[in-house]
Amino acid sequence: MAVFTCDDVNKNLHFKRCIITNYKRGNMEIEEKVIKVIMEQLDVTREQCVPEASFINDLGADSLDLMELIMEMEENFDVEISDEELQNLRTIQDVIDYVRIRQVK
């Protein structure tokens, strides 16, 4: 049976808090960076960049805009987005989730 001292427990809790805080901070940084790229590429405002915003229906992107946006995302986040995966990236939240998953790997 393992015996833990108060110091061991406190160190472990501090370590877990640091991991959670850094994870949340990292996710917020990804979200803000994705939104910044979208704002620049599609010439839209921060207020328009809500997670559920559709690139085509809400932000007025056409196919050329989407291709340029994807190329910029690939460059900024060091990811490669296949044509099949591209079909599933319809909203800002879709892109944020995609980048988060790829950043973890």
Annotated catalytic, 83? no
Q: What is the pLDDT of residue 46?
A: 97
Q: What is the pTM of this model?
A: 0.72
Report the pLDDT averaged over residues 28-48.
Answer: 95
Domain segments of the chain as ranges: 7-104
Select which of 58, 62, 78, 83 is catalytic: 62
Q: What is the pLDDT of residue 2?
A: 52
User: 7-104 — its CATH code?
Assistant: 1.10.1200.10
Q: Any alpha helices (H) in the chain, and if so which ranges?
A: 6-42, 63-77, 83-86, 92-104
- What's the pLDDT tens digit per position in 47-65? 999 999 999 999 999 999 9
* Among 51, 49, 89, residue whose Cα is nearest residue 67: 89
Q: Is 13 exposed, middle or buried (0-12, 13-18, 19+ CB in 10 A)?
A: exposed
| pLDDT top residue among 8 and 59 | 59
